[in-house]
Chain A
Amino acid sequence: DTGVSQDPRHKITKRGQNVTFRCDPISEHNRLYWYRQTLGQGPEFLTYFQNEAQLEKSRLLSDRFSAERPKGSFSTLEIQRTEQGDSAMYLCASSHFGSFQETQYFGPGTRLLVL
């Protein structure tokens, strides 16, 4: 397995546009997480899925953000009407829930710049 992958790696957009990011987890992992990381900060939790069910969302996840994991495999994160404050690195991670020592494995991230 090649690990968690994310696409695109970089995205530049104008304020007000919509963007969509994709995450492909490690194949046998049933949990998938989205985080946002701004400069000089640690990752902040946004939301997570177990299989196709979205189990928790952070208050950071405004109505402009939506995430899906339709078949319990890859996931998409969409940001509508982007704002300059959305500029950040968006990280995806996956894990296998059910193992005693659950550990998250992170993808390389998608860096978003909103102009």
Chain B
Amino acid sequence: GNSVTQMEGPVTLSEEAFLTINCTYTATGYPSLFWYVQYPGEGLQLLLKATKADDKGSNKGFEATYRKETTSFHLEKGSVQVSDSAVYFCALSDLPGGSYIPTFGRGTSLIVHP
């Protein structure tokens, strides 16, 4: 079956530090990959996505590249801000034209200090 593994948190960084949150996946088909962000007390917001191998998703300074050879979709940001403090979820969906039921990772908490 499908699964998503994220690095455990919390990840604690100082403002302007470089961020990497690792995500690897297992899927039977050719999934689409997503990163969602959840700010305290709120629902999930789509941060970025990639639908095929070697695609790079990017948004708000975050980016992630779909690596089929390593089954990875690591999230990166060159310079984090305090406002980036949130929980980040990696997710995949298989069968984009069929039964779209995404599989989420457990989430990685990011804490950014001034």
State whether B107 touches A42 (Cβ < 8 A).
Answer: yes
User: From B36, which residue of chain A is reached at the shortest CB distance?
Assistant: A106
State whether A42 touches B46 (Cβ < 8 A).
Answer: no
**Interface residues on chain B, size class:** 20 to 34
Could you tell me how many residues of chain A have their Cβ less than 8 Å away from some Cβ of chain B? 28
User: From A45, which residue of chain B is reached at the shortest CB distance?
Assistant: B101
Q: 8 Å CB contacts to A: which residues of B69-93? A: 89, 91, 93
In whole angstroms, how far apart are the Cα atoms of A101 and B97 in the complex? 8
Q: What per-residue 1/0 map shows which CB atoms of B1-41 lie under 8 Å from chain A?
A: 00010000000000000000000000000001010100000
The interface of chain A, by Cβ under 8 A from chain B, is 4, 6, 31, 33, 40-45, 48, 55-56, 89, 91, 93, 95, 97, 100-109
Listed by A's residue number, 16 A-B pairs whose Cβ atoms lie within 8 Å are A33-B101, A40-B106, A42-B89, A42-B91, A42-B106, A45-B101, A91-B44, A101-B32, A101-B49, A103-B34, A103-B49, A104-B46, A104-B100, A106-B36, A107-B43, A108-B43
The interface of chain B, by Cβ under 8 A from chain A, is 4, 32, 34, 36, 42-46, 49, 51, 89, 91, 93, 96-97, 99-102, 104-107
**Sample of 14 more A-B contacts, CB < 8 Å, known A104-B100, A104-B102:** A42-B89, A42-B104, A42-B105, A43-B89, A45-B101, A55-B99, A93-B44, A100-B97, A101-B49, A102-B93, A106-B43, A106-B44, A107-B43, A109-B42
